[in-house]
Chains A and B, each alone.
Chain A
């Protein structure tokens, strides 16, 4: 008669007498885990890739138009495609995807999801214009002033679209997530890092050596800068990780992520400015970025703990 109550969703087999473990509710996790699984990890990655690529291209073009204009004109359509894939995933992650437009019936500044939805919606409009005008420019119909205007208009909303995601995933009651004070700082910073990396690949593919050389240095700076919010995030999650994983597991995963996300991309970028080196470096960076997001999303789903602090 005395046994623990597990989540209804997890209870698939009748309990046997030998399985009796605990009494009452004290060791149970109070909160319910939302149905946010792997798709949200992909969404967090694609959101960063899309907004980061746009922001990196916009900042580069505004800082040194003579060097970066050609690569920026390719970057905007790529960012739009990434954003559309991301938005599709967001819609299909809803319980009722046909009601996705209900998000736009109100604006609630204290709901990170509402802020994010509005930022993404508004961002998509000038981004579409910038991407369309970039394609037209590549076809020979250049409306330079209109394109630059669209890029400037999209910048604050692109930044907002990148910044809301971490706040959404940390402003809640879920074990682990609720302690991640630096998740937003890490994700926004990481978006710029990934965007710079993507822009670097594009410039290398286009054979723009001047842009490639400058972006290589900028990428290394951002890669090292990103270690600060990542370290702070890791410190935030230390308690949650300690309860979920053994110290050996934490070291293994930590070293693997550090090697994949920092050491390998750094070494390859330092070693050569060749396309293959840069491409492999960015692939490793994206792999590590996805892994970090996946590990984070997994925390409340895998928690066997009773993190009972509301």
Chain B
């Protein structure tokens, strides 16, 4: 993406500001302060990823890279099953994870067979296409000091690349490790839920490419209903472990507009077992900060007042 951006930036655009260095500097300084009209709210949309039908083909990764013109990350054997993508990053917005759960593996190596005593051990692959969770109360959005991160008209978490200044607050805030800062350009990037495609009435590239319908896209209420029906169906078909992750708010975290159907503990998939929104602590932290400072000021004032001649 970055190399393509560089190529495009050299072309003269009809929207280019008037020439002259002073005009360009003035434009650069004033541009971020001009706020346009926000678009009309649309039906909230999101992803529901059914991991039970994922076959690990990585078509979603490829489609995402292709549509969003994201550069290759190079290639290295990670040694972790077929996962050589290794993680989400500023240039990788989809990441297919592979978990091998086989009885002949040595125990205590992070494998959870999620079985009760007497239950037969499953020899199985778990695969999951990971991406931004598009949280309703997104810590990255709360942290962003520039207003670059917004909830767009589809209630998806979106980074305005022309506003982000690379402060990395969103990186520190995300409990899922989704956002990173790009080495090229220095700005944060992540899944946009194909905002451009959605505006044109198209579904995101990954959902379009998924050959097994593991990735469902649509109005959030609709896909949530479908996901719950799917869980019930799986329970009837002898998969009692199936459950939804992130479809509803918990005491410590909001609902997510990208949620998952899982059949093992979240941590097995590299997700936090109990996601926690750091902002739940913020008011208390401010209070302690103020108390700490005021105590020192009062102590200093009293000492000076008592000791003055």
B308 x A184 contact (CB < 8 A): no
B78 x A110 contact (CB < 8 A): no
Chain A CB count within 10 A is highest, among B145, B180, B181, for B145
- In angstroms, Cα B179 to Cα A29, docked, is 14
- Whether A274 sits at the interface, judged by CB under 8 Å, is no
Partner of A102, one of B146, B169, B286, B303: B146
A59 x B274 contact (CB < 8 A): no
Interface 0/1 of B141-162, CB less than 8 Å to A: 0111111100000000000000
The chain A residue sitting closest to B271, CB to CB, is A30
Interface 0/1 of B66-90, CB less than 8 Å to A: 0000000100111111010011010
Using known A-B contacts A23-B100, A23-B110, A103-B167, determine if residue A32 contacts B305 with beta carbons closer than 8 Å.
no
- Whether A222 sits at the interface, judged by CB under 8 Å, is yes
- Whether A140 sits at the interface, judged by CB under 8 Å, is no
> Which residues on A sit within 8 Å (CB–CB) of B147?
105-106, 108
A25 x B110 contact (CB < 8 A): yes
- In angstroms, Cα B282 to Cα A170, docked, is 8
A111 x B303 contact (CB < 8 A): no
A225 x B299 contact (CB < 8 A): yes
> Which residues on B sit within 8 Å (CB–CB) of A28?
270
B33 x A105 contact (CB < 8 A): yes
What is the minimal beta-carbon distance from A150 to any residue of chain B, in angstroms? 19
Classify chain B: how many residues form its interface, as a range: 35 or more
Partner of A217, one of B182, B186, B187, B303: B303
What is the minimal beta-carbon distance from B35 to any residue of chain A, in angstroms? 8
Partner of B87, one of A8, A159, A221: A8
B81 x A1 contact (CB < 8 A): yes
- In angstroms, Cα B131 to Cα A205, docked, is 59
- Whether A270 sits at the interface, judged by CB under 8 Å, is no
Interface residues of A in 137-187 (CB under 8 A from B): 159, 162-164, 166-168, 170-174, 177-178, 181-187
What is the minimal beta-carbon distance from B282 to any residue of chain A, in angstroms? 5
A111 x B293 contact (CB < 8 A): no
- Whether A218 sits at the interface, judged by CB under 8 Å, is yes
Partner of A214, one of B165, B285, B304: B304
Partner of B144, one of A3, A30, A108, A225: A108
Partner of A31, one of B165, B177, B252, B288: B177
The chain B residue sitting closest to A7, CB to CB, is B87
- In angstroms, Cα B112 to Cα A181, docked, is 33
A59 x B32 contact (CB < 8 A): no
- In angstroms, Cα B140 to Cα A134, docked, is 42
The chain B residue sitting closest to A110, CB to CB, is B142
A23 x B111 contact (CB < 8 A): yes
Chain A CB count within 10 A is highest, among B187, B269, B290, for B290
- In angstroms, Cα B299 to Cα A226, docked, is 11
A11 x B78 contact (CB < 8 A): yes
- Whether B116 sits at the interface, judged by CB under 8 Å, is no
Interface residues of B in 153-204 (CB under 8 A from A): 163-169, 171-182, 185-188
Cβ contacts A to B, 15 pairs, < 8 Å: A4-B110, A5-B79, A11-B86, A23-B111, A24-B109, A24-B110, A95-B167, A102-B163, A108-B144, A162-B293, A171-B282, A177-B172, A189-B293, A193-B296, A196-B300
